[in-house]
Amino acid sequence: MRVSGVPTAYLPGLPQPRRALVMGVLNVTPDSFSDGGQWLEPDKAIAHGHELLAEGADLLDVGGESTRPGADRPSEEEELARVLPVVRALAGAGALVSVDTMRSRVAQETVEAGAVMVNDVSGGLADPRMLPFVAAAGVPYICMHWRAHAAQMQRHATYDDVVETVVSELSDRLAAAEAAGVAPELLAVDPGLGFAKTGEHNWALLAGFDRLASLGRPVLIAASRKTFLGNLLADPETGQRRRTVDRDDASAAVAVLAAAAGAWCVRSHAVRPTLDGVKVAAAWGAAPAGH
């Protein structure tokens, strides 16, 4: 089996170990699907960020808006109030922080507070000022495949060929970013698992990793604790979906397989097992091929 374990491409200005990067998830929200409310208070969020760093996270992804299906949007002021103190404290402590936001003003203020990357789940579609801001700021930008806000996104989960369509629509977003002046080498892509996607779509996108990589940009895979894993692990007797906090082994397995395929970064709630796993993928990929 061909195992790479090393990213097919990197983003400049960020760590470039010969392994996939691990991005620790820090949702400062009352209602994120997997950890909603746990880290809403800034002090708790900052402490959890340090825990993730201690586990070895290369990056911390700080978000103030839940994107779970059906979630209502917080105001821009509320989102800012949630993330700004957390970004300022963690970046101030030397952490590499990405801000998980669709709003250009939140991106701007958190970059000014020390965030080094913008993680925009909308790929620039939710706020027309986002791409111009990213271009002017010159920071790395994660461009995720997205079709609509959480309240209505699952209505858009229809594709003839999900891999080809997602690759094509991501290609359009990369072109839009470059047209807005974003330097191409600062762009990473992400298939948006669970965003206007069914479980079947998610598995097809993972199996189609090489098509995502054919965009020529670093690929971020973010499957951690998502519903399609809960369904995969459902109790065979009752059909009861596996609880979110009990999905970390399967989440790490997806991350390792993505790293083996050449993912640039994997986004995880459980950093330590994920980091251990991507190191295994890198060691396997580095071994001389059997004769």
Ligand X SMILES: Nc1nc2ncc(COP(=O)(O)O)nc2c(=O)[nH]1
Binding residues vs ligand X (CB under 6 A): 25, 27, 32-34, 63, 67-68, 100, 119, 121, 142, 144, 190, 192-193, 220, 222, 224-225, 267
In the complex with ligand X, the residue whose CB is nearer, 33 or 133, is: 33
* CA triple 271-229-96, angle to 5 deg: 25
In the complex with ligand X, the residue whose CB is nearer, 8 or 67, is: 67
Paired with 167 in beta bridges are none
Q: Cα–Cα distance between 145 and 189 in angstroms, integer? A: 8
CB of 271 to ligand X, least distance (A): 13
* Active-site annotation holds for 44: no
CB atoms under 10 Å from CB of 180, counted, come to 17
In the complex with ligand X, the residue whose CB is nearer, 201 or 267, is: 267
Ramachandran angles phi, psi of 117, nearest 5°: -155, 150
CB atoms under 10 Å from CB of 59, counted, come to 22
CB of 272 to ligand X, least distance (A): 17
In the complex with ligand X, the residue whose CB is nearer, 3 or 228, is: 228
In the complex with ligand X, the residue whose CB is nearer, 98 or 285, is: 98
CB 86 within 8 A of CB 26: yes
CB of 145 to ligand X, least distance (A): 9
CB-based closest residue to ligand X: 222
CB of 2 to ligand X, least distance (A): 25
Residue count (the chain)? 291
Catalytic residue among 88, 197, 226, 272: 226
Dihedral sign computed on CA atoms, order 286, 215, 161, 226: positive
* Active-site annotation holds for 267: yes
246 to 68, 78, 238, 277: CA distances (angstroms): 18, 30, 16, 17
CB 82 within 8 A of CB 28: yes
Q: Cα–Cα distance between 71 and 170 in angstroms, integer? A: 24
Catalytic residue among 247, 267, 272, 279: 267
CB of 18 to ligand X, least distance (A): 23
90 to 44, 110, 288: CA distances (angstroms): 12, 11, 40
* Active-site annotation, residues: 226, 267
